[in-house]
Amino acid sequence: MKALVFPGQGSQFVGMGEELYNSRKDIKDLMQFANEVLGFDILSLMFKGTDEDLKKTEVTQPSIFIHSVAVLKTLNGQGAEMVAGHSLGEFSALVANGVLSFDDGLKLVSARANAMQEACDANPSSMAAILGLADEKVEEICSQIDGIVVPANYNCPGQLVISGETSAVEMACEKMKEAGAKRALMLPVNGAFHSPLMQPAQEKLAAAIENTKFRNATIPVYQNITTTGVSDPEEIKKNLIKQLTGPVKWIQSVQNMIKDGATHFVEVGPGKTLQGLIKKINAEVMVSSAN
């Protein structure tokens, strides 16, 4: 059984999508339409911008979404039976299973990115990757720190990203090292994604989602918050809103997809991050990429 999975923030690169743009007229039309929807020339930033341009949240998120949906078009809906996306990637997954149209998805991604950037600017906050420490220990240490710091991304066994106020994240990193973590690395992001500090962004995204048409899913999406297959549009909406302040449970989502029959995961979009994570979650399954 085939599953399509879609990457999130961090998989962007300069030149992303340019080859696709030049490969087919329907993809060129789709990508030019993205410029119209957004009201600025995002394609020039994707194709010829700098790393710094692409690191801005309000550019990164739409760029990855556009690239992922363009790649999806090349697959012509080849027989997948379930989809999932890592954080931002969940929006690409919802285009793949017919819940969102491309332009509605892009508008939501742009609204989400802008709201997240505003929330980041309002609070000195950051994230850190904790390597080689049991999830339960990471959770326990986070709960003991003064200030806001929470588990944010359950990426694969032995890799959990934490998120929160910068001082609390730094303190947690020291405690993690003392507890035996192989590494505790501050990440080059200027915000606490998937933490309570995203509450203002969540409220703005909720308003945008409520004004967007969500259709019935053709195949289930395994959402970051529930980790189980969901097809009901109202439930999908609720989970998408909760995702901004809640953790990305990628390990649990992949495990549930495998339990429900997934044997081959295809990463659709820029980079190969998810393939590496999935292999660490379960070495038996087949992984490949479409990019």
Catalytic residue among 68, 86, 126, 194: 194
The DSSP symbol for 41 reads -
Output the CA angle 163-233-38, nearest 5 degrees: 65
87 has catalytic annotation: yes
Find how far residue 220's CA is from the centre of its chain.
17
Catalytic residue among 63, 68, 87, 92: 87
194 has catalytic annotation: yes
Strand 286-290 versus strand 264-268 pairing type: parallel
Active-site annotation, residues = 87, 194
